[in-house]
Amino acid sequence: MSGDRTPDGAARGPGTGSLRHRVRYHFDNLLARGTWVTLVWLGLVTLAAVLTSSLLLAIFGVTFTDGGRSGWLEDFWQSLLRVMDPGTMASDVGWGPRLLALLVTVFGLLVAGTLIGIIAAAVEQRIEGMRRGRSVVIQSDHLVVLGRSDRLPVVVQQLLLTQSGRAGGDAIVVLAQEDPAELDRQVRAAAGDLRGSRVVYRSGDPTSAADLRIARPDHARGVVVLADPAGGDARAVETVLGVQDVLGPDSPVPVTVEVERADTAGHLGLACGPNVHPLVAHQAVARTTAFALRASGLGRVVDALLKVGGCDIHVWEHPDLVGLTFAEVTVRYGLGRPIGIIGTDSGVELLPEPGARLGDGDRLVVLAHTDRTGSVLRDEPARPGPVGPGNGSIRWRPRRERLVVLGWNDFGTRLLSTWGRTVSPGSSVEVVVDANRVGAGDVVVGDLPDDQVVVTMAESPLASVVGRPDLLAGATTVLVLADHSAGPASEADAQTLLALRALQRTRGSGRDEPRFLVELLDADSNRLVGRLGAEDWIASPARTGQLLAQLVEEPLRREVLLTLAADVGPTIDLVPVDELGLDGSVTIADLARACLAGDAVAVGLRRRTDDALLLDPSPDLVTTVGPGDQVIAIVRTGG
């Protein structure tokens, strides 16, 4: 039998217009509105059953008990009691009232069971929602981390260091599409002690404005957007746009975003304004890590500067210094080591001319410990400092290198491309790779000519290198790269440390023996690196976390770090003290004046005796320097 027809002639399904289906349709829609609607409906049905029972008692002139005629209100009350308590019907008399009481009581049992189920389901749903973190946070002046990546535990660990000692605003809110309990487990495994801070987890989509409001970024002091390995830059861009939608066009809250492509970073800067600070993580990590390949000990210096909570880069405004020259500030400044000026229009200028004067609105770029106290300007006695270098200005000059690389990965491509632009002509590199995993065309080493790049394909790269003592003897640096395809980070690091151990056993003891650098995937694996003969180690995930933590607290650090890591312009170097004409007992202020005479700025000291690094030492500190000691300085390139 065909169904009915709609007014326009279309066929209607059989029975879809019947009263039963329409009532069921509206009833289903009613229940779909939530638990409270179900409870209201249940209450109305119960009320109808009690009214029906009391009306039947009134019509037939009977009661549940033998106390005589009682009236409709008493019948209503007695019926309600039997719905709520099955034991009430025990004293009923007469088979008619008993049968009615039985029906009412059975109905009450069904209502009670249904009510218990509804309440249990609602409570379970509420607990699940609380566990998944869907309530709006109450924090303010907090840090917000958006997105999920393998670097999240490291980023939170570094951000916890920035929270240390804060009087308020010590919370970090993480919003990601993952179980908050699992995120908490991962972060606690990496960070351990939360240092008195609170890490709050919320489950939600960082690209959704509604979910973003759960984390209250408009009340935060900073936002970090992590790159999504699966979503690429598209998801990071969507998240930034969602954050700006919540923050509003004039919000001062800085947003630091990790991206994969340099062009995405440029477009974000143009489209989203000065409060969005993109970081091309793999480029930044390669540039900062390349310092370790430049000179022995330089990697440790850069690592110390990037670690939060030590000697950090700060941008401070000092109206009381307006009119002073950079040379005067360098020698007399008491709160850190000045390295540059950020002008109102000129941007970051590291190592300005000694005679350059600070103007109104200019800010000072300083390497400093935040716990340093004292006056801004020290009283400097009017006495000449050391003569300084006898051969003119101090300059960083590219060094001729012979690099041997064991293994290959994408990080090696980026790192050596940066390294290849900073070495002198005649430098060379030999890369020994696993022929079963890497093709010869995958090895790209910056701007070095093809005849200075040798790629050796081997079934066992480690055995190949160990079997060639001439290769190691002629090298200045040996770089061991991690196998990113070896499974978990701990497994890859174990293989890397075994390779380092094997290389260390073939290493000689002469002065011309190469230094060893190692890439690790887990920062916790560094415990054995020094004992196995490596001078320095690189953990790229940890370095990314360090950079993001640095930028979220002071976004202008990005421009300073990029300037220091550029191919030309001021950079960090280790200057032997004998080049400065220094020997014996000196003060740090003496080092500052000696470097200033050579057109450089001293920021610390590396002592030969214990290989210790002194960054931002007090200007009045008296120390003894001699052959082998080095001044950590900001110098110019070239010349």
Please give the mean pLDDT across all residues of the chain: 80
- In this prediction, residue 633 carries a pLDDT of 92
What's the confidence (pLDDT) of residue 605? 92
Residue 146: its pLDDT value, please? 93
Would the pTM of this model clear 0.85, i.e. be above it? no
Q: Which is it for the CA torsion 105, 109, 110, 111, positive or negative?
A: positive
Residues 628-639 have a mean pLDDT of 86
Q: Tokens for 451?
A: 């005849």
Determine what percent of the chain is predicted with pLDDT higher than 90: 12
Q: Where are the alpha helices (DSSP H) in 475-571?
A: 489-506, 540-553, 557-564
DSSP three-state, residue 479: strand
In this structure, how many other beta carbons lie within 10 angstroms of the beta carbon of residue 40?
A: 12
Higher pLDDT, 518 or 43: 518
Model pLDDT, residue 338:
92
Q: Which residues contact 146 (CB under 8 A, 6 or more apart)?
A: 175, 176, 206, 212, 215, 223, 224, 225, 226, 239, 243
- Specify whether the CB–CB gap between 97 and 69 falls below 8 A: no
Q: What is the mean pLDDT of residues 393-405?
A: 85
Contacts of 558 (CB under 8 A, 6+ apart): 277, 279, 551
**Strand 337-343 with 363-369, pairing:** antiparallel
Range with the largest mean pLDDT of 22-31, 154-163, 573-582: 573-582
Q: What is the pLDDT of residue 630?
A: 92
63-92 burial, b at 16+ Cβ within 10 Å, e below that, comes to bbeeeeeeeeebbbebbbbbbeebebbeeb
Lookup result for tokens 């370790």: 292
Cβ atoms of residues 343 and 359 within 8 Å = yes
Residue 11 banded pLDDT, cuts 50, 70, 90 = very low
Residue 6 — very low, low, confident or very high, per pLDDT cuts 50/70/90? Answer: very low
Rounded distance, CA 118 to CA 20, Å? 25
Please give the pLDDT value at position 382: 45
Per residue in 344-392, pLDDT tens?
A: 877 889 999 888 999 998 999 999 887 777 778 877 654 444 445 544 5
Phi, psi of 26 (to 5 degrees): -70, -35
User: Judging by DSSP bridges, how do beta strands 453-458 and 515-520 pair with one another?
Assistant: unpaired
The answer to whether residues 566 and 328 touch, using CB atoms and an 8 Å cutoff, is: no
Contacts of 38 (CB under 8 A, 6+ apart): 31, 118
Residue 200 clears pLDDT 70, i.e. is over it: yes
Give the pLDDT of residue 13.
Answer: 47
What pLDDT is attached to residue 365?
93
**Higher model confidence: residue 173 or residue 182?**
173
Q: What is the mean pLDDT of residues 415-435?
A: 86
Residue range 382-409: mean pLDDT, rounded: 72
pLDDT in tens, 304-343: 888 877 788 889 989 889 999 998 888 888 888 999 999 8
Tens of pLDDT, residues 526-585: 777 777 767 777 777 778 888 888 888 788 888 888 888 877 889 999 999 888 888 888
**Which has the closest alpha carbon to 196: 225, 166, 173?**
166
Provide DSSP, 297-311.
THHHHHHHHHSTTSE
Instruction: Determine contact, residues 296/289, Cβ cutoff 8 Å.
Output: no
Q: Taking residues 599-611, what's their average pLDDT? A: 87
For 215-263, how does the pLDDT look when each residue is reduced to its tens digit (9 = 90+)?
A: 999 999 899 999 887 767 899 999 999 999 999 878 889 999 999 888 9
When pLDDT is averaged across residues 188-205 and rounded to a whole number, the result is 78
- Tell me how far apart the alpha carbons of residues 574 and 604 are, in angstroms, rounded to a whole number: 9
Beta strand ranges found along 323-382 (DSSP E): 337-343, 347-350, 363-369
Domains of the chain by start residue, with CATH: 19-131 (1.10.287), 143-274 (3.40.50.720), 395-541 (3.40.50.720)
- % of the chain surpassing 70 pLDDT: 82
Average pLDDT of the residues in 88-98: 63
Pick 478 or 541 by higher pLDDT: 478
Taking residues 168-185, what's their average pLDDT?
81
Predicted confidence (pLDDT) per residue in 502-512, tens digit: 887 776 555 56
Please state, in angstroms and rounded to a whole number, the distance separating the CA atoms of residues 329 and 338: 7
pLDDT of residue 193: 65
Residue 166, pLDDT score: 53
d(CA 564, CA 95): 98
Give the residue from 606, 540, 596, 610 showing the smallest Cα distance to 286.
Answer: 540
Rounded average pLDDT over 202-213: 90
Lowest mean pLDDT among 52-56, 408-412, 456-460: 52-56
**Residue-level pLDDT at 64:** 66
Q: How many CA atoms lie within 13 A of 261 on its CB side?
A: 11
**285 has a pLDDT exceeding 90:** no
Q: Are 174 and 152 in contact (CB under 8 A)?
A: yes
Asked whether residue 590 carries a pLDDT value surpassing 50, the answer given is yes
Q: What is the mean pLDDT of residues 155-183?
A: 76
The secondary structure element, H or E, covering residue 277 is strand 276-280
Pairing of strands 276-280, 255-259: parallel
444/465 Cα distance (integer angstroms)? 20
399 pLDDT higher than 60? yes
Which one has a higher pLDDT value, 129 or 572? 572
pLDDT higher at 68 or 471: 471
Tell me if 598 sits within 8 A of 388, measured CB to CB.
yes
Q: Is the pLDDT of residue 147 over 80?
A: yes
